[in-house]
Amino acid sequence: MELWLDGVEIDLIKKIDQMGILKGVTTNPTLLASENPMQIIDELLSIQKGPVAIQVLGDTKVEMIEQALFLNKISSRILPKIPVLPEGIMAMKELQEKNLDFLATAVISFRQAFLAFQAGVPCVAAYLGRFSDEGKDPSQLLEFMVKMKKNYGFKTRIMAAGIRSLDHLYKGTEFGIESATLPKTVFQQLLTTPDSVSLALQKFQSDWQESKNFLFERGESPMREGLASA
């Protein structure tokens, strides 16, 4: 599964990128509006090598296409986010004809998911948190999308977005979806070391203290000598 960070937290993005587990970054207009949007976009492109997903804000097909093309001129690594609405679907059709990649987004219903697959979009983001807000189980939306893809042979990739907890992420893995974008809070939970693991490591270090000193702090250790003679 591809992991994306949903946010503009520079230090966290750098940390995850250094771990080698970051596919790209997703944003929304609210996040970009907090500071200078162009400055944030430039920094997101410079601190990691993956795509940066940015939502278009037009109401019409023409506006969405114009904004998507503008974003693509800034960088080919920018992935325009197009909402799955009638105008958005028409815009996505023309963008596909122009061979411009994009992310179909804001899917919070079965009918939107159905339309996204019918339109043959390359990737569609399901907003699990918003789906839950309507009193529905997000697993049902994921299951519907996975079954539709399998039953009809669609190539559309599925992204879990609007994730509120690690349970949402784990549900996505159970259904075999291709990617998930995690907000700062959930990504930090994912990177948190369980207390039981920390205690076990402390116990190992305490038990191994004398041998550790012999192996790693007495000049040339037997391990190094063995490697040198190999």
Residue type (1 letter), 215: L
**How distant, in Å, are the alpha carbons of 47, 142, 161, 173, 193 from that of 148?**
37, 10, 19, 17, 37
What is the separation of C-alpha 203 from the centre of its chain, rounded to a whole number of angstroms?
Answer: 36
81 is catalytic: yes
Which of 15, 23, 61, 81 does the annotation list as catalytic?
81
26 three-class SS = strand
Phi then psi dihedrals of residue 153, to 5 deg: 70, 25
Q: Which of 53, 146, 147 is nearest to 105 (CA)?
A: 53
Q: What is the chain's percent helix, strand, coil content, to nearest 5?
A: 55, 15, 25
Pair of tokens at residue 214? 């012999």
Which residue numbers are catalytic?
A: 81
